[in-house]
Structure 1
Amino acid sequence: MLNVAIVGTGNISHNHIQGYLQFGQRCRIVALVDIYPDKAQEKKTRYGLTDARVYESHEQMLASEPHLDIVDVCTPPYVHAQISIDALNAGCHVLCEKPMAASLEECDAMIAAQQANGKTLSVIAQNRFTDAFWRLKAVIDSGLAGKICHAQVDSFWWRGHCYYDLWWRGTWEKEGGGCTLNHAVHHIDAIQWMLGFPTEVVAMMTNVAHDNAEVEDLSTAIFKYPNGALTQLTASVVHHGEDQKIIIQGDKARISAPWQAVACVSADNGFPQATQDTQREAQLNAVFQETPQLRWTLHTGQIHDLLQSIENGAAPLVDGQQGKRSLELITAIYKSAMTRAVVSLPIHRDDPFYRTGGTNALAPRFYEKSASVANFNEVGAIPLGKDLDRGI
């Protein structure tokens, strides 16, 4: 039985707590930590965690829980690294919410602590644990779509003006960025998982609807890959309807999440024929449909993956290196938007955007942070966007 501590008991902690409770024979929540202890106490009562002890700091918790196995970090991003490193040094495995850390320097420090202590470090990327993305990757890996030429990634979310009134949101120092970092991270992780790591990034960003936040609420980026392929990615919290999608264009077919397969056939003059390559479309549909559905999805799926990796001594699907790769792409987007230049990857240690505080020091303040609400009313588990599995 693995003992779990949840550090940070805001809205996202619902998704984590509910996930662990699915595996009552394998783990139990023994500690809840929050700088507002009443929030931790509320989760204890709501979920019937009668054996869980409440703490005001992760340091106090680590000193008081000698038999702890997993520390689950659900705090604002600016303290992810310190809590994770302290937990790893205390001999605990760590599951850390996205984004992994506030800088690539902190990512490397977390990875070094994981390697030094021989523990598991996993970073939340729950969209990998959806049937839509799981099956789409299987189809890409089949090669039936041909050479990948282009991807369109619409990370469309919508958040009301007051979203950025929460005390830590909307600042470069504490949130680390806007929609690119804290919303599109899911789709950025998914596309680099599916297509690999690009070599160049160019981007622009703006704030068009949230004049109570320093950070961007809209950005657009283009990734270029070694084979010449391009990905265009839009990150947003201004899109009503949150119509999220990934569309992959191969030289033989178009595939996407939500799922659709289209394979054109060329006429003698190069224009598409009225009839399509139905045989290839049938093959693509077969791979998609025959890829087994996941038993556990989203946060619960990733928690299952973490438990399985600990039990079997294997690496998790989303380890520290994978978490860093997503943040490196995000850092490249910010660097390009701020410097108005094409950014080459990887980002090196002597780059100011690599270092902790570097992006914060160089970032524009679109607006002054105009409100600082200590706590919002609970909404339960955070909605994670449109159901990407629709249309299966």
Structure 2
Amino acid sequence: MINVAIIGSGAIAPSHIQAYLQFPERCKIIAICDIYPEKAKNTAEKFHLESEIYENYIEMLKHTDIDLVSICTPPYTHADMAINCINAGKHVLVEKPMASSLEECDRMLEAVAKNNKILSVVAQNRFRTSMMKLKKVLNSQLMGQIVHTQVDSFWWRGHSYYDLWWRGTWEKEGGGCTLNHAVHHIDIFQWMNGMPYEVTAVMSNTSHDNAEVEDISIAICKYNNGSLAQITSSVIHHGEEQQLIFQGKNARVSVPWKVKASQSQENGFPLDDMHLEKKITELYSSLPEVEYEGHAGQIDDVLTAIEKNEKVLISGTEGRQTLEMITAIYQSASLGGTVKLPLDKTSPFYTSESIMKNAIHFYEKKTSVENFTDNKITTGSNH
């Protein structure tokens, strides 16, 4: 039995708890910690958990029976919490984004190497049937070389969203929609397509004058083979229609699922390639559905890795790559010009302090709400 602790009982914590509860024979939630202990207590009561309640996670870590910690707190807390948990001999599942800076990611990875513990970064959308199937279709090479990718991470959040005390600041949230919403799609993008070698980006704040950070960004990525990708990150798009489209030399596929293949006529105009479309469709249809989707799928992966001493699908290294892409977008959009990857300590956006110094501050955060009474969240589409 794997004993689990939860740090943070805010909006995302129920997703973790509900996922753990799907595996009662494999794990048990024995502790919940929150700087507002009443919230932790209410969460435990809501899910009928016989968990110890803590206000200070350092005190909680003295609980020697804890094997795995889920960190469900604001981004600026992730690094120190994860490092302290790992140094205390615990495995860690940390919510997205992995941390607020690449420097913090590197310190987290050093702790993992030193203690030989598992660090997994939440990217629950990988654990969806549609994403797993698309990944295998891309791996089949039936589409040919990818020549263009379109990532639409469209979300919508009202003005009051950034009133919450830690949101909307570079210090506490670490960024806006690019970091905290599009992180899901950027993770999928780099998992499926690999890392580009350069990024050029712009960003703006069009609708949230109570936030320092962006509410829309647009990035163009370039690969060594000439392939291009465009990534739009937004919390100003009504309808929250999200998609990833991969254009190959032979065919196009996407999530939501759609396939289209073309052959060239003698004059260069397109002719439907029904044979290839059928072949790709048959492959997609033949692939199995995942047993557990979303957070449950990732928690199953982490539990299995602990039980069998295996690697997780989304390691700290994978989490760092996703943040590296986002950091490059912020660096390019704030300072102008094209940013070459990979990023290292020489980047002017490597540390949290340098990000706060160099990032565009669109507005001053004037409103600070301690908590919302309604903890319900929506997550857009399943894509």
TM-score (norm 1): 0.96
Please give the alpha-carbon distance, in whole angstroms, between the structure 1 residues aligned to 2:150 and 2:346: 32
Deviation of 1:164 (Å) = 0.3
Name the aligned partner's letter for residue 269 of structure 2: F
Name the aligned partner's letter for residue 373 of structure 1: V
Q: CA RMSD in A?
A: 0.8
- Select which of 78, 81, 87 maps to 1:89: 87
Name the aligned partner's letter for residue 280 of structure 1: L
- Counterpart of 1:170 in structure 2 is 168
- Counterpart of 1:2 in structure 2 is 2
Deviation of 1:350 (Å) = 2.3
Name stretches of at least 5 consecutive residues in structure 2 with no aligned partner: none
- Select which of 194, 214, 217 maps to 1:216: 214
Structure 2 residue 312 is matched with structure 1 residue 316: yes
Name the aligned partner's letter for residue 328 of structure 1: E
- Counterpart of 1:45 in structure 2 is 45
- Counterpart of 1:15 in structure 2 is 15
Out of 357-366 and 103-112, give the one that drifted further. 357-366
Please give the alpha-carbon distance, in whole angstroms, between the structure 1 residues aligned to 2:148 and 2:170: 31
Please give the alpha-carbon distance, in whole angstroms, between the structure 2 residues aligned to 1:257 and 1:285: 13
- Counterpart of 2:380 in structure 1 is 385
**Secondary structure in 1 matching 2:270:** coil
Name the aligned partner's letter for residue 56 of structure 1: E
Contact 1:201–1:336 (Cα < 8 Å) also in 2 = yes
Name the aligned partner's letter for residue 69 of structure 1: D
Contact 1:180–1:235 (Cα < 8 Å) also in 2 = yes
Deviation of 1:272 (Å) = 1.3
**Secondary structure in 2 matching 1:262:** strand
- Select which of 362, 365, 371 maps to 2:361: 365
Please give the alpha-carbon distance, in whole angstroms, between the structure 2 residues aligned to 1:89 and 1:187: 31
Q: Deviations over 1:260-315 (max 9, x none)?
A: 00001211111113xx1111001111111111100101111100000011111111
**Secondary structure in 2 matching 1:263:** strand
Paired residues for 1:100-179 under 5 Å: 100-179=98-177
Cα gap change, 1:378/1:31 in structure 2, threshold over 3 Å: closer, same or farther? farther
Please give the alpha-carbon distance, in whole angstroms, between the structure 2 residues aligned to 1:384 and 1:119: 30
- Counterpart of 2:56 in structure 1 is 57
Deviation of 1:174 (Å) = 0.2
Name the aligned partner's letter for residue 385 of structure 1: G
- Counterpart of 2:273 in structure 1 is 277
Name the aligned partner's letter for residue 274 of structure 2: T
Q: Deviations over 1:306-332 (max 9, x none)?
A: 001111111100000000000000000
Name stretches of at least 5 consecutive residues in structure 1 with no aligned partner: none
TM-score (norm 2): 0.99
Name the aligned partner's letter for residue 33 of structure 1: C
Deviation of 1:24 (Å) = 0.6
Deviation of 1:356 (Å) = 2.9
Please give the alpha-carbon distance, in whole angstroms, between the structure 2 residues aligned to 1:370 and 1:300: 38
The size of the alignment, in residue pairs, is 383
Name the aligned partner's letter for residue 29 of structure 2: I
User: Runs of 4+ in structure 1 displaced over 6 angstroms?
Assistant: none
Deviation of 1:364 (Å) = 1.7
Name the aligned partner's letter for residue 53 of structure 2: V
Contact 1:11–1:378 (Cα < 8 Å) also in 2 = no
